[in-house]
């Protein structure tokens, strides 16, 4: 009888001890749940900082006269009145102090047609038909090299067959391009632009001799 009572008492104490283990288990579970909750609560904060880490939108050059890779309208070629196309751009890189456009014939060993430089950062476009002078009045401060026709300003496509052309817009680290003036050739100006370039974007157009 005493032995039976002792066994019953031991069983009761063991059951109480098991309760302590359960308490410890629930405490551990609570801690784990709390950690997960804390992690979840930090999620929105992390997401909120996401946009700050997003890269700047791409530096881009466009024209209302033609889309990238499309035919350059006849008016902007020697078969028309040979006026310069309009251009617009967005998102120059940080540190840009001026801009420049280099115009080359990709189908003829990157033959250089001309360069426009010292375009102020206060403007984000060039109008069509810039005056063919060293300093066109349409965009004060802007300058133009001599072209392959030995005159300043735009000299458009004029080949006897299909050619592809590139207008490359450079962001420059100087406000005024050094070492260039009214007598600067297109190749001299191109070299000076590339030496001061922070980065560039391009717009291509094609010449079709059969385009009306």
pLDDT in tens, 175-191: 999 999 999 999 999 99
Q: Residues 201, 169: contact at Cβ < 8 Å? A: yes
Q: What is the mean pLDDT of residues 69-78?
A: 96
Give this prediction's pTM: 0.74
- Does residue 100 register a pLDDT over 60? yes
Mean pLDDT of 161-181: 97
**Mean pLDDT computed over 181-207:** 97
- Structure confidence at residue 148 (pLDDT): 86
Please give the pLDDT value at position 65: 98
pLDDT number for residue 210: 84
How far is the C-alpha of 189 from the C-alpha of 183, rounded, in Å? Answer: 10
Instruction: Say if CB 98 and CB 160 are below 8 A apart.
Output: no
- Whether the predicted pLDDT of 31 surpasses 70: no
Return the higher-pLDDT residue of 23 and 78. 78
Average pLDDT in the chain: 81
- Confidence at residue 52, expressed as pLDDT on a 0 to 100 scale: 55
* Residue 142 neighbours by CB under 8 Å, 6+ apart: 116, 117, 118, 119, 120, 126, 130, 135, 136
CB atoms within 10 A of CB 174: 15
Identify the residue whose tokens are 């309009």. Answer: 86
Structure tokens belonging to residue 29: 């579970």
pLDDT at 4 over 70: no
Q: pLDDT band at residue 140, thresholds of 50, 70 and 90?
A: very high
CA–CA separation, 179 and 50 (whole Å): 44
């Amino acid at each position: 009888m005493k032995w039976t009572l002792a066994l019953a008492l031991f069983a009761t104490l063991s059951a109480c001890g098991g309760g302590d283990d359960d308490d410890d288990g629930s405490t551990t579970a609570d801690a784990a749940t709390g950690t997960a909750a804390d992690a979840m609560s930090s999620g929105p904060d992390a997401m909120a900082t996401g946009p700050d880490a997003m890269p700047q939108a791409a530096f881009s050059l466009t024209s209302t006269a033609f889309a990238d890779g499309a035919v350059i309208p006849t008016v902007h070629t020697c078969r028309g009145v040979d006026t310069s196309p309009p251009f617009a751009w967005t998102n120059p890189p940080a540190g840009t102090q001026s801009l420049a456009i280099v115009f080359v014939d990709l189908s003829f060993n990157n033959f250089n047609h001309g360069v426009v430089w010292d375009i102020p950062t206060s403007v984000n476009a060039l109008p069509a038909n810039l005056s063919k002078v060293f300093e066109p009045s349409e965009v004060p401060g802007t300058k133009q090299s001599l072209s392959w026709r030995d005159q300043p300003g735009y000299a458009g496509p004029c080949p006897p067959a299909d050619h592809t052309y590139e207008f490359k817009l450079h962001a420059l680290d100087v406000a005024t391009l050094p070492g260039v003036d009214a007598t600067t050739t297109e190749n001299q100006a191109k070299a000076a632009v590339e030496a001061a370039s922070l980065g560039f974007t391009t717009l291509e157009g094609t010449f079709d001799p059969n385009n009306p």
